[in-house]
Chain A
């Protein structure tokens, strides 16, 4: 799709360029399919994940359409069950979990630490192919009769229902390896591939976010893999570990499932935190407040995230002792999350705020994630959760975190790095309109669901009592607005590939390496010369005014002031043995 368009888009040589960049130095289809360039793999992932997001998003719109009135409006109950299951499965396992690491992490992370590539480029490409294999198995699951278990595959129902479950669980097992490969790659890259002078305290916070994410990916993903294998064996060989009719314990499945799937929530949100730190610092032109606190709170969340999975199981029949323990630890997660939000707000304070589209998404994130976080604390309270469990309150809570958090941050990040990825600027006016539509549409969709849930509307039902009609219709209307906003983004993004204004090397005046030391469209090897890092990632003291455009060379008198590029490292880096 857009890969081809991008090639034509940059076919005309850019006047800022000396010609060769990562998009045009090879253009055959095979050069894309066999690429080991982290930037191209990021683009491949971007196209693939955009398609998945589109499919899963359309399913969401279909669900909301069904819920536009009580009773059966457009599909049978069984169909509805399959639609919400596939929406959840595709969004969580095939979109949200890989999204930011695979697209932006792949594209940006090596550049941000001054590396030529990730540590294992072939593994990186393998990750994309493995992901494709997972996606193919998902399609097989659909052809095989679909899945109607919800995204959680709870036993014993998942053992007895349709053959699609077998394909779907295999898909998740396979796609899990794609995440492990990416996470493993990033950890090694961050540890071993940093440019000279790039100390841990000079890492951009996006890198810290990716680091914490990768730890969780590596530690948690194998468990979902083996859980899915056990579920398959349960179906095929009747091993009786989860099936109560064979003496197994279905709650044990929930433990296994949530040991991965709760940390997976942090796999989804930690990269979003990283993007937020970049956006807030760059667009308020101020050094990030509490750098170390933000960096370490990511790692703290990653670790604490492993100790709270039981809060998904308060009404599953697990022991009350463990419910109490899990509930208590759940409160603790609020602390590092709060630290981040306060630090971002403190960074905004007295900053020179530049309301470009990425910043609007960042501010949306602050609002939406705060609601997501607070409702999260509420459902973490053991007694409250007994009432709210399996209601729309939960649905709304995790959409505020996953959609309002991760997807909004991803949108912000995509706008922010769009010039670097495509060499083109998107349309700023349309961007602002779309950001506004997304924000309004999102709240319109999900705020009524908080109220619905508190009133007792259970989740996963194709129909509802008449008294819920108004709020459900409001929510459906909101989903329409949200859909329009997202399609607008897709539209002007594709448009910009061909007709967008050519982007300068550093349109935002940002201070991280991918902006200061890399050409507008990056070189195949990122840097002409490996940079030597002598300052922190948010030293904006060179830029005292922000307006209009500019380019990396014209640092000074007119236009946007951009931070100086880092000097090149000595030819024989000192660590060469």
Chain B
């Protein structure tokens, strides 16, 4: 009886689901006044998704329906996810192509190499940050080296 599309949902079930939906609505409004910071969006969307799931499974009776209808609906949802995700892969990293001026890649690489060499030339006493970097009164180079190996 569970998959012939003529399942009659008991009135009690419908009312219970409705109660759940109202509760979640009140909850999401209440939660909106709690300062959740970065969690506000995921919580709100999560509650909305729960409500939508309740509607789909019970009001739309997808739980008792032909599996092919559930598959159809699932594919639709997956496509929405794909649409949002792949667009946001772009918009989240927009402008990461930094080398759009006249410099060639070769010039940029040479600059980076030069900067790296400069970095390496920094006297190691300037790199001392922790007490472990200052063992006794040994030479600067050795101190940095032992500091690395100790930690």
Contact = CB atoms under 8 A, between A and B. Distances in A.
A and B touch in the complex (CB under 8 A): yes
Interface of A: 191, 215, 219, 223, 249, 251-252, 255, 259, 306-307, 309-310, 313, 317-322, 325-326
Main secondary structure of the interface of A (DSSP, over half): helix
Contacts of B93: 319-322
B38 to A, nearest CB: 22
B92 interface: yes
B93 to A, nearest CB: 4
B86 A191 contact: no
A318 B79 contact: no
Interface in B86-118: 86-87, 89-97
Contacts, number: 50
B33 interface: no
7 contacts: A307-B82, A318-B90, A319-B89, A319-B95, A320-B96, A321-B96, A322-B90
B19 interface: no
Interface string B15-47: 000000000000000000000000000000000
A306 B94 contact: no
B96 A319 contact: yes
Contacts of B97: 317, 319-320
Could you say which interface size class chain B belongs to? 10 to 19
Contacts of B95: 319
Across the A-B interface, give the 6 residue pairs with the lowest CB-CB distance, nearest first.
A319-B93, A322-B90, A322-B89, A318-B90, A321-B93, A255-B87
Interface string B45-64: 00000000000000000000
A325 B83 contact: no
Given A191-B68, A319-B96, A321-B96, A306 B79 contact: yes
Interface of B: 68, 75-76, 79, 82-83, 86-87, 89-97
Contacts of A320: 93, 96-97
B76 A219 contact: yes
A230 B81 CA distance: 20
A306 B82 contact: yes
A299 to B, nearest CB: 11
A321 B82 CA distance: 16
B79 A219 contact: yes
Contacts of B75: 215, 219
A321 B86 contact: no
B102 to A, nearest CB: 16
A446 B20 CA distance: 63
Contacts of B91: 249, 252, 319
B92 A319 contact: yes
Contacts of A223: 83
Nearest to A192: B68
Contacts of A321: 89-90, 93, 96
A472 to B, nearest CB: 32
A313 B97 CA distance: 14
Contacts of A259: 83, 87
B89 A325 contact: yes
A183 to B, nearest CB: 12
A319 B83 contact: no
A122 B90 CA distance: 42
Nearest to B72: A187
B79 to A, nearest CB: 5
Nearest to B83: A259
B70 to A, nearest CB: 13
Contact of B90 (A215, A251, A306, A307): A251
A319 B97 CA distance: 7
The listed residue with most A CB atoms (<10 A of its CB), out of B75, B86, B94, B95, is B86
A325 B89 CA distance: 9
A319 B98 CA distance: 10
Contact of A319 (B68, B76, B79, B94): B94
Nearest to B92: A319
A312 B83 CA distance: 15
Contacts of A255: 87, 90
A191 B72 CA distance: 12
Given A309-B86, A322-B90, 6 more contacts: A219-B75, A249-B91, A310-B90, A319-B89, A319-B91, A322-B86
Nearest to B88: A322
B71 to A, nearest CB: 10
A307 B86 contact: yes
B27 to A, nearest CB: 31
A530 B46 CA distance: 50
Contacts of B90: 251, 255, 310, 313, 318-319, 321-322
Contacts of B92: 319
A562 B10 CA distance: 57
B100 to A, nearest CB: 9
Nearest to A319: B93
A317 B91 CA distance: 10
A152 B132 CA distance: 63
A542 to B, nearest CB: 34
Contacts of A319: 89-97
Contacts of B94: 251, 317-319
The listed residue with most B CB atoms (<10 A of its CB), out of A251, A255, A322, A326, is A322
A223 B80 CA distance: 10
Nearest to A324: B89
Nearest to A220: B79
Nearest to A325: B89
